[in-house]
Amino acid sequence: MEEAFKYIIGLGAAVMMPIIFTILGLCIGIKFGDALKSGLRVGVGFVGLSVITALLTSSLGPALDTVVNLYDLQLHVFDMGWPAAAAVAYNTAVGALIIPVCLCVNLVMLFTKATRTVNIDLWNYWHFAFIGGVIYFASDSLAWGFFGAIICYVLTLILADMTAKKFQDFYDNMDGISIPQPFCAGFAPFAYIINRGLDCIPGMKRLNIDAEGMKNRFGILGEPLFLGVIVGVGIGCLTCSTWSEMVDNIPSILGLGIKMGAVMELIPRVTVLFIEGLKPISDATRSLIARKFKGAEGLNIGMSPALVIGHPTTLVVSLLLIPVTLLLAVLLPGNQFLPLASLAGMFYVFPLVLPFTNGNVVKTFVVGLIMMTLGLYLVTDLAPWFTLAAKDVYAATGDSAVAIPEGFEGGSLDFASSPLAWIIFKCTHAFKWIGAGVLVLLTMGLVWWNRVLIIRNQKDMARDGSTRLEDME
């Protein structure tokens, strides 16, 4: 079974999602050709997104490495990026069984009306395997590892349910979609709290600037494309130690600026493919549920946040936070993590933040700044345990993605900077049974609350349907 699921995961999201969508489309009554076309569009979207991410990493990585060496910014925790975190996650005993275990949990919660999300984002199940794997190596207990992974999965489904309406109201063409990715969903409660705090600051409402407002107020300076060029050129200039070197490197500096601008421009275009592929599946699923399954109205399909990372506010704030996060990493006392390879994952912080800030660039930037500041410390704190897991996986597999340089510890912004991952790890590792008890009580309380809301919502929908029928008669 372990080998079978390793093979499935090894196909990658670009291959897995077309297969899943095609099978799902056939199951809900879509013609084979239409189902295949939807699946292929989603797969092509993942390919396009990976190409753009690779462009960002290959262009920005060498420049940032030069800046690190030039200004001697070496810190003790080496950034291994999300591929290393995923490799650690799926190459453990927890990761080998994470998909069937979590799918069973999802089905139980659906049948008991504890969730309305059908989580088909199988590739991102590595997040649950990651926290479970790190707990497994820290405690030397497979049971504790699965406990942490399942708790994380249940909490993520609940967060997906509770944010679904705001998510669907804020983004276009996202009816019937929720986001059960724990890295992304884990920031939603903090976004809500920070946003409410910002609303209490006098004058904050005057700074209600969204992406369109930036374009109107600043013209070309407010365009994500132009901001990408400016930030790229700025980072390129930092790689030069003298003015003469800067003049000599003008072609490469301008090239970096154009590539960063290209990333900002291409991401929204690629995410359109996700929406085009997803819409027929989403519409057909809701139609089938309405016809065949009485009382099952309101089900949402759980999908990757990649669907919406092309929103202009996400692009602008992520781009601005890249140099700011580097500066914070150097200046914050006690931090030992310098994010480099992980910076491409910055876009995934904000898909569930924007619905709370209503796309306000200033508020979103403040939320991101606070979360990245906290995230650097969380990665530093988890680094010894991440390193323990990575070294064990490297010894067993020889995978170069999890090789940590001598004298360093390993870390990654995604998913080790997530407050959700850190809280679950600390409760299970530091406080053991007391922490586990707190997690169980909290999780069961939220499950009960979510079930109450779901049943109440279904009754309201049934009442509204009866009222409309009576009006028609």
211 phi, psi to nearest 5 deg: -60, -40
pLDDT of amino acid 469: 44
CB 371 within 8 A of CB 364: no
Q: Nearest to residue 339, comparing CAs of 319, 323, 316, 317?
A: 323
What confidence tier does 23 reach under pLDDT thresholds 50, 70, 90? confident
Under 8 Å between Cβ of 145 and 97: no
* Interatomic CA distance for residues 157 and 113, integer angstroms: 12
pLDDT in tens, 73-119: 778 898 888 777 887 887 788 887 888 899 899 999 988 999 999 88
To the nearest whole percent, how much of the chain has pLDDT over 90?
A: 31
C-alpha to C-alpha distance for 65 and 392, rounded to whole angstroms: 27
**pLDDT of amino acid 424:** 94
Interval 282-327: pLDDT, tens: 777 767 666 655 555 678 888 889 888 888 899 889 888 988 998 8
Q: What is the pLDDT of residue 290?
A: 60
| pTM attached to this predicted model | 0.85
Spell out the domain ranges in the chain. 2-399+409-458
pLDDT digits (tens, 9 = 90+) for 376-387: 999 999 999 988
> For residue range 137-196, what is the model confidence (pLDDT) as tens digits?
888 889 999 999 999 999 999 999 999 999 999 998 788 889 999 999 999 999 999 999
Write out pLDDT tens, residues 270-279. Answer: 888 877 887 7
Instruction: Name the burial class of residue 246, with classes exposed (0-12), middle (13-18) and buried (19+) by CB atoms within 10 angstroms of its CB.
Output: middle
- Does the pLDDT value for residue 6 go beyond 80? no
Reduced to 3 states, what is the DSSP secondary structure of residue 119?
Answer: strand
Indicate the burial class of 33 (C-beta count within 10 angstroms; 0-12, 13-18, 19 or more): exposed
